[in-house]
Chains A and B, each alone.
Chain A
Amino acid sequence: MPDLAIQTSGLVKVFGETRAVDGLDLQVPAGAVYGVLGPNGAGKTTAVRMLATLLRPDGGEATVFGHDVVREADAVRSRVSLTGQYASVDEEMTGAENLILLARLLGHRKPAARERAAQLLEAFGLSEAAGRQVKTYSGGMRRRIDIAASILNTPELLFLDEPTTGLDPRSRNQVWDIVRIVVAHGTTVLLTTQYLEEADRLAGRIAVIDRGKVIAEGTPGELKSSVGAGAVHVRLRDAATRPDAERVLTEALDATVYLDADPVALTARITGNGREAAAAEQASRALARLAEAGIVVDDFSLGQPSLDEVFLALTDHPAAEEAAA
């Protein structure tokens, strides 16, 4: 295994009665995107805040590039940047002022700080909005100024805490592209997310966490093979053909078929043996069978397993369930 950017063992954080992080063990390799996947309240943000030196752990150990997050906090701080769930910039100040302020705090002299801010605003498509207060920015623009602020000094490790939550699909794609470019330049990214799709698209490895513990870890492919590749959604032209369609799909996919509330819709969970291509093959074979049987399909989609499905498969309880302790 290459150098580790993050290593934690038995990390614990307790808030009152709640063990928000409860013995977390992570090994995050340097130079790639590492996804931390989990539902709300799983302890993702708490873990990130401890690793970014914002919270003091109640137990266990954590190092970032070999530096202890408590004893060598300053060494950690000089290597990491954090973009939290909420914009980590000052909304009352303009985009340019925010970046100049942070550049000054990172040690740039005034002219250099201005120049650096202008470069970043340009690179993030915010030059026109540079003189506007951040509170007038759209969600996507806020996210961008936030990420720009995080790479003022290119960090060795960038924490992105649910960077796309609440963003429209276009802004989300922009964030994904930015993350890919940042990683290509050698920065390690720790990405927390509630979306399996996001982790799948960006991360080389994923840790699934629940109730403050890692419950599964591996490459996206490994995870999916343990969970199933996803689901085929089919909408029929005629509700009367549904019983036939159910039978055909069950045979073709060798999977359980669910009847949706909509009388013309069905969903089949497929395994794909851990490979997306295999899942697609299975799905297209199923479609062909439906056509052979003379069943008209109006709409068809192949969906990745949802976080809920991942959780059901890994923990036997749905993601939304309150952590009982």
Chain B
Amino acid sequence: MSTATENPTTYAPAAETLGTVLAPSKKPPRPSAWSASMTFGWRAMLKIKHVPEQLFDVTAFPLMMTLMFTYLFGGALAGSPTEYLQYLLPGIMVTSVVMITMYTGVEVNKDIEKGVFDRFRTLPIWRPSTMIGYLLGDILRYTMASTVILLVGLVLGFRPQGGLAGAVGGVLVLLGFSFAFSWIWTMFGLMLRSEKSVMGISMLVLMPLTFLSNVYVQPATMPGWLQVFVNANPITHLVASVRSLMAGTPDFGELTWVLVASVLMIAVFGTLTMRLYNRK
């Protein structure tokens, strides 16, 4: 019935050492929304550092997509792969990056299962910062994917008329849209029960959005009913914007469309995400 004595070779909690860390030092003020978000962004970077294999999605996958579609369709659709690449590259960049946005949802879903999520939710911090942290890590991933595709494109003969400024501008618009679009996945990540169902829903949404668009062929070649869908598809407008920037002829109508769509997505899916996060 007596308290067992500690084995001296193992850790024994000592009142003095523990006492010093428990000494009531004054609590620092709560971090700002910005600081908390950046800290969660740092967490996302650390996770990439510890599991670098996950970067396959943002390096090998985009590389494969670019090579595959350039040489598969190039000859048939535009006479030569190099010719087709001028049309395809902005689109395949959009497709690849928008496809990898779904991993945001998978990451969120994996984390909810773990106790660490509870810890974050009991902290007195600005609530959306946890979610923004995921997205900051993802922006790094999107940037890597875009860079890989741009470099591969340049090697294969892609020559954007808008020059460096046009190419960078196009990538920035894509990153902005993807940040907004990712809130759909944070919502599903919190809503669905398993990462498998998050993946399933993501594919169901992403496949039609990316294929039934102007990424691969001109919408004018499609039947009328399909054109209706394609022209309403946000991906079509995004691709048109990115193309116009890279071609050095910015289409402000399309850019405005993308901006409005991005703001709306953040407003709607950001709100739904935070509602789920608070209710979970």
Contact = CB atoms under 8 A, between A and B. Distances in A.
Interface of A: 49, 52-54, 56, 74, 77-78, 80-82, 84-93, 97, 101-102, 104-109, 112, 119-120, 122-125, 133, 140, 144, 146, 149, 151, 153-154, 169-170, 173-174, 176-178, 181-182, 184-187, 276, 302
B22 A151 contact: yes
Given A105-B123, A154-B22, A178-B18, A88 B27 contact: no
A169 B124 CA distance: 35
A125 B116 contact: no
B43 interface: yes
Contact of A184 (B6, B15, B124): B15
Contacts of A91: 114
Nearest to B47: A92
A107 B119 contact: no
Contacts of B114: 86-87, 90-91
12 contacts: A49-B118, A53-B122, A78-B27, A81-B122, A88-B115, A153-B27, A174-B6, A174-B11, A174-B13, A176-B3, A181-B18, A181-B22
B29 A169 contact: no
B155 interface: no
A119 B23 CA distance: 12
B107 to A, nearest CB: 11
Contacts of A187: 22
B46 interface: yes
B36 to A, nearest CB: 6
B3 A173 contact: yes
Contacts of A93: 43, 46-47, 50
Contacts of B116: 87-90
B5 to A, nearest CB: 9
Given A106-B28, A107-B30, A151-B22, 5 more contacts: A53-B121, A78-B30, A124-B13, A125-B13, A170-B6
B115 A107 contact: no
A133 B50 contact: yes
B29 A125 contact: no
Contacts of B125: 105
B8 to A, nearest CB: 12
Contact of B18 (A90, A108, A123): A123
Interface in B1-57: 1, 3-4, 6-7, 10-15, 17-25, 27-31, 35-36, 39-40, 42-43, 46-47, 50-51
A182 B14 CA distance: 11
Q: Top 6 A-B pairs ranked by shortest CB distance?
A: A125-B11, A107-B28, A88-B115, A88-B119, A78-B124, A185-B22
A53 B121 CA distance: 8
Given A106-B123, A124-B11, A90 B17 contact: no
A56 B30 CA distance: 23
Contacts of B19: 181, 185
Given A170-B6, A177-B12, A108 B47 contact: no
Given A107-B30, A123-B20, A144-B11, A54 B115 contact: no
A108 to B, nearest CB: 5
Contacts of A88: 115-116, 118-119
Contact of B39 (A105, A119, A122): A105
Interface in B96-144: 114-116, 118-125
Contacts of B122: 52-54, 77, 80-82
Contact of B118 (A84, A102, A170): A84
A54 B22 contact: no
Contacts of B39: 101, 104-105
Contacts of B279: 56
B112 to A, nearest CB: 12
Contacts of A107: 27-31
A170 B3 CA distance: 11
A80 B24 CA distance: 14
Given A52-B122, A88-B119, A186 B29 contact: no
B4 A169 contact: yes
Contacts of A87: 114-116
Contacts of B21: 119-120, 123, 151
A273 B47 CA distance: 57
A212 to B, nearest CB: 20
B118 A82 contact: yes
A38 to B, nearest CB: 20
A194 to B, nearest CB: 18
A58 to B, nearest CB: 12
A86 B42 contact: no
Nearest to B31: A107
B200 to A, nearest CB: 24
B143 to A, nearest CB: 22
B118 A104 contact: no
A97 B51 CA distance: 15
A133 B15 CA distance: 27
A181 B27 contact: no
Contacts of B51: 92
Nearest to B17: A123
Contacts of A101: 39, 42-43, 46
